[in-house]
Amino acid sequence: MAQNTPSTLNKNLIILHFTVFVWGFTGILGALITISAVQLVWFRVLIAFLSLFLYFKFNKTDFKVDRKTLIKLVFTGAIVGGHWILFFAAIKLSTVAVTLVCLSSITLFTAIFEPIINKKSISKLEILAGLLIITGIVLIFKFEGRYTKGIITGLASAVCASLFSIINSRQVQKVQAPVIAFYELSGAFVWISIYLFITSGYTRAMLLKPADIGYLVLLGTVCTSLAYVAGVSVMRELSAFRVALITNLEPVYGIILSFIFFGDINKMTLGFWGGALLILSTIFLYPVARKQITQRKSRA
């Protein structure tokens, strides 16, 4: 990870928070777009990687990578595509609010997977944060039984998001963020195209309504290519776990937006709010606890 200063750290934190707000809006667009989750993601990654290709050509950017890196990025694209398909499927199986809260479990899965993949010691604080998030998810499961399929799908989406975040935190040390985004999104497009071909998914159901076209362009450019590049670039300065933790603010922005657009507040039980409050409190309190531990160690 690059050596960072307070100014570069703050800059990257601001970029990440803005990116997470944009991601919070993707749930709204996913609910508004009428096609299936797989078809939606196919159009999303198509628009995203084409917009990045035009960006490279316009700026005369060299985006060539060696074969080994290309293979890694294309296969990571399969995980990215899987995450988005599961994410939008969860929205259609439950609500935007439920899906976004389930996505908060990224922190838990990152706390488990990052030490294994990066071969580093397990943080007791990260495990504690993960356990609190599990408790919050259990509360939501108990009181939102009608959305069980959506919750399970949302958790599976979080597993995929955790894995590709950890992989990207390593790749970004060697490859520029826009290049990573281009090849991963291209990979996602290829894998989803193969899936649609095998399952005879290219049907009239993929014909878009005028409103869907506008939503997909916004989703593919601002909410995907731009936000994806920004989200990957900050990993030069921030750990995968910290990125995952701040990414968990996506439910805050997304739930507020879902209240505005869909009135989801009337559909949620007290159990949902109890679980959501526990999860979001963990997100906000973790940095405070980590700072105090660091200060104690520096005094010792």
Whether 225 contacts 49, CB under 8 Å: yes
CA dihedral of residues 239, 241, 242, 248 (deg, nearest 10): 150
State what percent of residues in the chain have pLDDT above 70: 94
**What mean pLDDT comes out for the span 143-150?**
81
The pLDDT of residue 190: 95
**What local confidence, expressed as pLDDT, does residue 264 receive?**
59
Alpha-carbon distance values, 214 to 32, 203, 253 (Å):
11, 21, 22
What contacts 115, CB < 8 A, 6 or more positions away? 121, 122, 123
H or E, element range at 157: helix 148-171
Instruction: Enumerate residues 6+ apart whose C-beta is below 8 A from 153.
Output: 86, 89, 90, 93
Q: What is the pLDDT of residue 246?
A: 78
User: CA 69, 73, 74 angle in degrees (round to 5)?
Assistant: 115
Q: Whole-model pTM?
A: 0.78
96, 27 contact by CB (below 8 A): yes
* pLDDT exceeds 60 at position 126: yes
Backbone angles phi, psi at 123, to 5 degrees: -85, 125
Domain ranges for the chain, please list them.
6-299
Helices (H) then strands (E): counts for the chain: 13, 0
